[in-house]
Amino acid sequence: MHIKEALLPSILFFLFATTLYAQDRPAPYGLTVNLLSQTGQVYLNGYPATTPIEKAVSQREAFRYTEISNRRPVFGWIVPPGAGNTLQTAYRLLVASERELLLKDSADLWDSGKVDDTASANIPYGRKALEPGKIYFWKVKIWDHQGNESPFSHISSFKSAENLVDYATDRYPIERQDDYPVTIHPIGNGRYLADFGKAAFGRVRVKLFSHSGSDSVTLHLGEAIRGDAVDRSPGGTIRYSQYKIKLDKGWKTYIVTIPPDKRNTGSQAILMPEYIGEVTPFRYCEIENYNHPLAEKQLIRESAFYPFNDTDSHFHSSDTLLNQVWEICKYTIKATSFLGIYVDGDRERIPYEADALINQLSHYCVARDYSMARFTHEYLIRRPTWPTEWQLQSVLMAWEDYRYTGNKLSLAQFYEDLQAKTLIALSDERGFISTRTGKVTPELLRSIHFDGQLRDIVDWPHTGILGLEKEEGGETDGFVFTDINTVVNAFHYRALVLMAQIAEALEKREDRDFYADRAAKLKQSFHTYLFDRKRGVYVDGIGTDHASLHANMFPLAFGLVPEKQVDRVMEFIRSRGMACSVYGSQFLLDAIYDAHDDQYGLQLLTSTGERSWYNMIRVGSTITLEAWDNKYKPNQDWNHAWGAAPANLIPRKLMGIEPMEPGFKKISIKPQPGSLRSAEIKHPTIRGDISVGFTHEPGQSFRLEVEIPANTTANISLPFYSRGQTLLINGSPAKYKRQGNFSLIEDIGSGKWVFVVER
């Protein structure tokens, strides 16, 4: 027999096995267009509908769906995990005008062919620009580093907008869901008290019976209760409202419509879309003067929110109080998304930069969505608010958008605006900026799109406003405002540093060098003029010797404190406790964890004092408050997401998950548990879920289990105990680098890993 003939069965078997293996390989999933993953979902009156988008566009229904406005959208997907260290090496992307073409692996609009590229996100449409008002279908397959070819993904669809532009940030329609009461208690005399378990923005739909058609009932909706009734006068901006329903004879279903509130439907407020209607936040519904049995399914809250997948993230630890803090903060991000843009709560419903930054970071950590954060950030660039520091926060938001998405389009579109938002036009020869030295010109205000007066804020509220008496000194820790404000200049420094990195990302190297030089100059001046070497603290500004928590936590959070001074600054910070607002707590905890004082960080996160997240739970709210307690802000509301900082602090700092390279191309996993014995988390990213769990014997051993998404790598940081410690990876001894109090293992590939370090 000829040698070739003898080998033929083996060759055929190899080809068959290879083909079978490739078919068994999982396909790419989590497909996105312009960072949106639900572009084919159709909604009717806010409820998800089953009608395919290609049919919805021609049917006579009030359907809603996402429309892609960009002429050249970008595509993305998640690379499925393999045996380990899985990296994509190539892809093939098909775009067609009909679903049936893709079913045949054919495309009439774009067949990219096999493209040798590791990118799995932000892939630009490679043919002529989209046509307006059309339905498009697409799918993708990939090859991995071993040459294995995946099947094609499922077919995804999207509709192009009627008016196409070069750049826009698209969003989903607002979604609605029906919530039933957790409990309904008869409380006598024809009264019922229903508890929905958590507050949400919505309205009531109720099925009621009347024998005569001449009686009526009263509904009381509220966020708080007093005894066995909805609290009629809860104080501040805690919501309460009542509505009368005149009953018709027999069984009828009634929708309680919410009248607009003059305060939160004004010229600056974001309005509810008509297809959802007006909403109010409430947890409790009391029905008065109804003398018939009331069943659970007869009372429904139609709640509104931006599409949100509750299973995208998960956290659980050995500390039950920390778990409760996580839950209220995570839920807050969903509940306060009812407008599709971050707002300051229900009192004004106006976007503010400070709220948006905390919202943005928290949203990234609890759900795989980037559109609401980007839309809000871009909205605020053109409609800024008055505080000096919050203008500067636009640069911070732009950078976080890029870090978490890896997408440069927004940076490029708003680059000149971001340059102006650094407020470099206010700087003096030392690099300091000030709004009080005559440099706030009409030209500057136009460049930042602001028509008003810039004022330094530091924190909010200030002393002596909003009904605060002398014994309640506001939330600035006695900060003394001077011409050269330490907090303002800490923000300015951070904006300069990030502007240099933005310029680098956009390959504007002269600009990069310019901003880097300005940052270095300011850093030197900052320490020279604002640091009190004798006391080891930063003062509030030039011309005062007062040192506040804020004048120290912001420099530490923004990288201004020299390494040799960190311990002294941290000693002062610890001495002040939580002497800041819920907004300031974001930066305080960032500073504490960046200084690696994880035990103090855990202490603040799990505090049961009056200034704590637990106090928000204790007073009865299920959404985070605007202030630690009513006494600190008498007009506060109970639905303010800037109080939800632990939704990002727990994943980013305690569990230590952050992008090292934009779009999570490389990940840092650096847990800082303090005395926490165990914890586990699922963190969504644009490249897939990161899972991290640890068990911890403080000072003795640390076991870390991680699952890293495909097409990424990670640096892992474990505690460093001593030179004689044992460190194992999947049971085998491993090399590491000492980095301060951490043992660093670099360039770990995708898949499941177990790390153990023992003294």
> Strands 225-226 and 216-222, how do they pair?
unpaired
Distance CA 476, CA 459 (A): 5
Q: With contact defined as beta carbons under 8 Å apart, do 328 and 624 qualify?
A: yes
Q: H/E element holding 44? A: strand 42-44
Distance CA 651, CA 659 (A): 12
pLDDT score of 11 more than 50: no
Q: With contact defined as beta carbons under 8 Å apart, do 265 and 178 qualify?
A: no
Q: What is the pLDDT of residues 208-235, one digit of tens each?
A: 999 999 999 999 999 999 999 999 999 9
Helix axes 550-557, 486-505, angle to 10 degrees: 10
pLDDT score of 515 more than 90: yes
Is 492 strand, coil or helix? helix
Q: With contact defined as beta carbons under 8 Å apart, do 679 and 673 qualify?
A: yes
> Strands 678-683 and 314-317, how do they pair?
antiparallel
- Residue 434: how many CB atoms within 10 A of its CB? 23
What letter does residue 654 receive in the DSSP assignment?
I
Distance CA 293, CA 299 (A): 12
Q: What is the pLDDT of residues 63-113, one digit of tens each?
A: 999 999 999 999 999 999 987 899 999 999 999 999 999 999 999 999 999
Percentage of residues of the chain with pLDDT beyond 70: 96
Centroid of chain to Cα 575: 30
C-alpha distances in Å from residue 309, one per residue of 43, 50, 200, 346, 685 = 16, 18, 16, 23, 13
Distance CA 230, CA 287 (A): 10
pLDDT score of 240 more than 60: yes
Q: What is the pLDDT of residues 293-323, one digit of tens each?
A: 999 899 999 999 999 999 999 999 999 999 9
The pLDDT of residue 296 is 86
Q: Of 138, 132, 135, which Cα lies nearest the Cα of 57?
A: 135
What is the arithmetic mean of pLDDT over 126-140? 94
What is the arithmetic mean of pLDDT over 561-583? 98
Q: Which of 4-13, 248-257, 412-421, 730-739 has the lowest mean pLDDT?
A: 4-13
| Cβ neighbours for 696, distance < 8 A, ≥ 6 positions apart | 673, 676, 677, 678, 702, 703
HSE, side-chain direction, 13 A CA sphere, residue 478? 10
Is 241 strand, coil or helix? strand
Distance CA 543, CA 410 (A): 40
Distance CA 453, CA 68 (A): 37
- Residue 589: how many CB atoms within 10 A of its CB? 25
What is the arithmetic mean of pLDDT over 684-704? 97
Q: Which residues pair with 226 in a beta bridge?
A: 229
Q: Which of 227-236, 269-278, 469-478, 626-635 has the lowest mean pLDDT?
A: 469-478
Identity at 451, one-letter amino acid code: D
Q: Of 644, 669, 667, which Cα lies nearest the Cα of 655?
A: 669
Q: What is the pLDDT of residues 193-205, one digit of tens each?
A: 999 999 999 999 9
Distance CA 566, CA 568 (A): 6
The pLDDT of residue 1 is 44
- Residue 212: how many CB atoms within 10 A of its CB? 8
Is 207 strand, coil or helix? strand
Q: Of 515, 504, 480, 494, which Cα lies nearest the Cα of 561?
A: 494
Structure token digits, residue 52? 């395919």
* CB-based burial label for 87 (10 Å; 0-12, 13-18, 19+): middle
What is the arithmetic mean of pLDDT over 176-183? 97
Structure token digits, residue 440? 């706030």
Place of tokens 């708003």: 414
Structure token digits, residue 755? 């790390």
Q: Of 751, 648, 731, which Cα lies nearest the Cα of 690?
A: 751
Q: With contact defined as beta carbons under 8 Å apart, do 582 and 628 qualify?
A: yes
Preceding amide of 709 cis, omega within 30 = no
Is 573 strand, coil or helix? helix
Q: What is the pLDDT of residues 21-67, one digit of tens each?
A: 444 679 999 999 999 999 999 999 999 999 999 999 999 999 999 99
Q: What is the pLDDT of residues 431-484, one digit of tens each?
A: 999 999 999 999 999 999 999 999 999 999 998 776 555 556 799 999 999 999
Identity at 295, one-letter amino acid code: A
Distance CA 398, CA 394 (A): 6
What letter does residue 619 receive in the DSSP assignment?
T
- Sign of torsion, CA 582 588 594 598? negative
**26: phi then psi, degrees, rounded to nearest 5:** -70, 150
Q: H/E element holding 593? A: helix 582-594
What is the arithmetic mean of pLDDT over 395-411? 98
Distance CA 686, CA 684 (A): 7
The pLDDT of residue 301 is 98
The pLDDT of residue 467 is 56
The pLDDT of residue 226 is 96
Q: With contact defined as beta carbons under 8 Å apart, do 367 and 312 qualify?
A: yes
Distance CA 43, CA 48 (A): 4
Distance CA 368, CA 370 (A): 7
Distance CA 193, CA 201 (A): 18
Distance CA 571, CA 447 (A): 41
pLDDT score of 506 more than 70: yes
Q: Please name each of the domains of the chain with its CATH number.
A: 24-165 (2.60.40.10), 175-305 (2.60.120.260), 310-654 (1.50.10.10), 664-758 (2.60.420.10)
In SS3 terms, 640-653 reads as CHHHCCHHHHHHHH
Structure token digits, residue 736? 């590491």
Q: Of 326, 334, 332, which Cα lies nearest the Cα of 310?
A: 334
Distance CA 525, CA 233 (A): 52
Identity at 658, one-letter amino acid code: E
Mean predicted lDDT score pLDDT of the chain: 95
Q: pTM (2 decimals)? A: 0.95
In angstroms, what is the C-alpha Rg of the chain?
28
Structure token digits, residue 203? 């309205």
Q: Of 639, 677, 25, which Cα lies nearest the Cα of 305?
A: 639
Percentage of residues of the chain with pLDDT beyond 90: 94
